């Protein structure tokens, strides 16, 4: 049983053999029926590796299949072709509650149960899976509540009493309740004001360090991307164009990359970081 993060760290160490990527996506295809007949290929022979302990940020234009890929890595969608391995094990073999102990997910909208208290929301996956004795559920949930910077007095509140930043924190505590080694974040700072966004990024950074988490994140927010990413993977033309440290991605010539990083928003974010954006020819 692992209610403390030290115990779960030890368990993780044993579970994950060195040298095996945390996630390996091999030759993945996603094909959906087209509303007007025929089919649409979203991902074509897509390959991606996520190493243990990194924060990989997935970027790509709207509709390129970022959310579909996250859902596939969670086992919620099955690709048309290809394989997904989670530390060496085919995802298909990690069904139900076993998958939940491997991957925590922070959904974009927070997705809390409005009729439940903060503590009941955090404890929900533990109760569902019956992973630990009932008497310890409350204690485990309180531990996670403090871990995300909430106060014991927040435990009994309803989601409708919470600010946007607090809702994200509760959703994060719930995503971490099973002590997963892997955390997926879909637009973690979307909809937050700049101060709450900075505070949430700081929290994510310290949890990543303290818990040794591997994180896969989708974000459009360049401040969040620059603050947290160890590598950035660019989804375009139905596959991963490049997955590399942000400096290498900035140097990669592609219309989407230039638009995303070197447009007005990107330049402002780079300026705040005192990074000089590469010049684009013709500008």
Ligand X SMILES: Nc1ncnc2c1ncn2[C@@H]1O[C@H](COP(=O)(O)OP(=O)(O)O)[C@@H](O)[C@H]1O
Count of residues of this chain found to bind Mg ion when the rule CB under 5 A is applied: 2
- Is 74 or 211 the residue whose CB approaches Mg ion more closely? 74
**Contact call for residue 65 and ligand X (CB under 6 A):** yes
The CB-of-72 to Mg ion minimum distance in angstroms stands at 13
**Contact call for residue 230 and Mg ion (CB under 5 A):** no
User: Closest Cα to residue 109, out of 152, 67, 156?
Assistant: 67
Q: Which residue in 19, 38, 62, 255 binds ligand X (CB under 6 A)?
A: 62
Q: Which residue in 28, 42, 56, 225 binds ligand X (CB under 6 A)?
A: 42
CA 267 to chain centre: 25
**Contact call for residue 43 and ligand X (CB under 6 A):** no
Encoded one letter per residue, x for contact with Mg ion by CB under 5 A and - for no contact, window 9-48 reads: ----------------------------------------
Q: Which residue in 56, 68, 106, 162 binds ligand X (CB under 6 A)?
A: 68
The CB-of-145 to ligand X minimum distance in angstroms stands at 30
Residue 232 in tokens:
């950035």
Residue 264 in tokens:
């007005």
Binding residues among 62-121 for Mg ion as defined by CB under 5 A: 66-67
CA 106 to chain centre: 7
- Is 27 or 67 the residue whose CB approaches Mg ion more closely? 67
User: Closest Cα to residue 148, out of 223, 190, 205?
Assistant: 205
**Contact call for residue 79 and ligand X (CB under 6 A):** no
Q: For residues 31 and 65, give the distance between their C-alpha atoms in angstroms, rounded to a whole number.
A: 11
CB-based contact 45:239 (threshold 8 Å)? yes
Q: For residues 123 and 19, give the distance between their C-alpha atoms in angstroms, rounded to a whole number.
A: 33
- Is 32 or 113 the residue whose CB approaches ligand X more closely? 32
First-to-last alpha carbon distance for the chain, in angstroms, is 59
Is 57 exposed, middle or buried, given 0-12, 13-18 or 19+ CB atoms closer than 10 A? buried
- Is 178 or 218 the residue whose CB approaches ligand X more closely? 218
CA angle at 226 for the pair 222 and 191, rounded to the nearest 5°: 40
Contact range with Mg ion by CB under 5 A, out of 26-34, 59-67, 134-142, 176-184: 59-67
The CB-of-32 to Mg ion minimum distance in angstroms stands at 14
**Contact call for residue 32 and ligand X (CB under 6 A):** yes
Q: For residues 240 and 44, give the distance between their C-alpha atoms in angstroms, rounded to a whole number.
A: 10
Q: For residues 283 and 270, give the distance between their C-alpha atoms in angstroms, rounded to a whole number.
A: 17
The site for Mg ion (CB under 5 A) is made up of 66-67
The site for ligand X (CB under 6 A) is made up of 32, 42, 60, 62-68
């Amino acid at each position: 049983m692992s209610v403390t993060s030290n115990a779960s760290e030890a368990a993780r160490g044993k579970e994950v053999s060195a040298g095996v990527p945390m996630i390996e996506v091999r030759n993945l295809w996603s094909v959906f029926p087209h509303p007007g007949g025929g089919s649409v290929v979203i991902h074509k022979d897509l390959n991606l590796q996520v190493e243990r302990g990194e924060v990989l940020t997935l970027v790509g234009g709207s509709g390129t299949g970022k959310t579909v890929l996250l859902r596939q890595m969670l086992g919620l969608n099955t690709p048309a072709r290809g394989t997904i391995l989670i530390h060496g094990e085919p995802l298909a073999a990690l069904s139900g509650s076993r998958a939940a102990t491997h991957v925590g997910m922070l959904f974009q909208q927070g997705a809390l149960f409005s009729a439940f208290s903060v503590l009941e929301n955090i404890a929900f996956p533990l109760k569902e899976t019956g992973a630990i004795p009932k008497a310890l559920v409350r204690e485990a949930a309180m531990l996670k509540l403090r871990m995300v910077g909430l106060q014991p007095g927040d435990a009994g509140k309803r989601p409708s009493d919470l600010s946007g930043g607090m809702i994200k924190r509760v959703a994060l505590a719930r995503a971490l309740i099973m002590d997963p080694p892997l955390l997926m974040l879909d637009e973690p700072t979307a909809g937050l004001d700049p101060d709450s966004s900075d505070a949430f990024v700081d929290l994510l950074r310290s949890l990543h360090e303290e818990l040794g988490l591997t994180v896969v994140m989708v974000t459009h927010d360049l401040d969040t991307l620059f603050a947290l990413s160890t590598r950035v993977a660019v989804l375009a033309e139905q596959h991963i164009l490049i997955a590399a440290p942000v400096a290498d991605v900035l140097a990669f010539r592609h219309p989407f990359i230039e638009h995303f990083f070197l447009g007005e928003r990107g330049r402002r974010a780079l300026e705040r970081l005192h990074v000089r954006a590469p010049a684009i020819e013709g500008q």
